Amino acid sequence: MPLTGQTALVSGAARGIGRAIALRLAREGADVALMDLNPAVDETARRIRALGRKAVAVQTDIADATAVREAVARIAAELGPVDLLVNNAGVVKNIASVEKMTDDAWQNELGVNLTGAFNLVRATVGGMAERGFGRIVNISSVAARGGLARQVGYSATKAGLLGLTHTVALEYARKGVTCNAVLPGMVETENVKAMPQEIRDAAIAATPVRRFGEPEEIAALVVFLCGDEAGYITGAEIDISGGGHLNTIALGSRKDISGR
Ligand SMILES: NC(=O)c1ccc[n+]([C@@H]2O[C@H](COP(=O)([O-])OP(=O)(O)OC[C@H]3O[C@@H](n4cnc5c(N)ncnc54)[C@H](O)[C@@H]3O)[C@@H](O)[C@H]2O)c1
């Protein structure tokens, strides 16, 4: 198995895309540390152990730098130092216009989506560099580039993750550490399944492949970026959106081109 002997850390691994990434990393041979606020993270750990890999679940707020440092030390003691870091945890706290965005929601989204990823990178990248190998994957969003009306905090933090990605890639390229960003479009997670059907239909109609992604498809890309064969990919922004990041407005109305 390609990731045998590696220790991975996935934030937001209690459910959704994070759980799918954690399980796939384990299937590829990695031992996996899972960080989440949600106690359901223990269920992800149970499933990983059932696959024959080691797992440690920590209920930690990634926005809290001290708690992250302590959790990373505990993970190192139980599983070994982190070789593969997946910054997946992300939140939307407010769906409102820019003017109605509250201070609390803005700070919370900034704290989890951007500072949380920074906290985890800072706590792990030095060790990766010392050992001459590391992989960091930041889960951004197509909203990083295209913006998202009524989700200013979310889209701004997802764009911020790209700056974090580029800088970490530059600083650690010669130390065997890569850092890349994955930009999903709509993925069939609990949040997306709970959306009103008319919004789901409109989003599918605007996606060239005419469906949402599956968490396992995001996991497959992340696992590739974590592998030995991805050593020449760093500082990249990789869309995984069924073509949703393309300009579909002009083409969408043309049956012959869009296939609609
Ligand atoms: N689902 C989509 O369509 C989609 C599209 C693009 C990008 N993304 C991104 O993918 C990632 C995962 O999305 P998802 O839909 O699976 O999300 P989700 O809401 O189902 O899961 C996110 C997890 O993060 C955890 N979390 C939240 N705040 C935390 C904190 N402070 N500390 C630790 N853990 C915390 C939550 O408890 C939850 O388990 C997110 O970064 C999201 O922005 C999702």
Residue of the nearest CA to atom 33 in ligand 1? 36
Q: Residue 134 pairs with which residues in a beta bridge? A: 177
What DSSP string describes 112-130? IIIIHHHHHHHHHHHHHHH
pLDDT tier at 259, thresholds 50, 70, 90: low
Q: What is the whole-number distance in angstroms between the Cα of residue 76 and the centre of ligand 1?
A: 24
Q: Residue 10 pLDDT > 60, yes or no?
A: yes
Residue 40 pLDDT > 80 = yes
- pTM for the structure as a whole: 0.96
Is pLDDT above 80 for 257? Answer: no
- Ligand 1 centroid to 36 CA: how many Å? 10
Q: Which atom of ligand 1 is nearest to the CA of 158?
A: 43
Question: What is the mean predicted confidence (pLDDT) over 9-27?
Answer: 98
Average pLDDT of 133-142? 98
Give me the residue label for tokens 């083409």: 251
* pLDDT confidence bin for 248, thresholds 50/70/90: low
With contact defined as beta carbons under 8 Å apart, do 155 and 143 qualify? yes
d(Cα 224, Cα 207) in Å, to the nearest integer? 24
Domains, the chain, ranges and CATH? 7-258 (3.40.50.720)
pLDDT at 255 > cutoff 90: no
Whether residue 35 has pLDDT greater than 80 = yes
3-class DSSP assignment, residue 42:
helix
Query: Rounded distance, CA 254 to CA 248, Å?
Result: 10
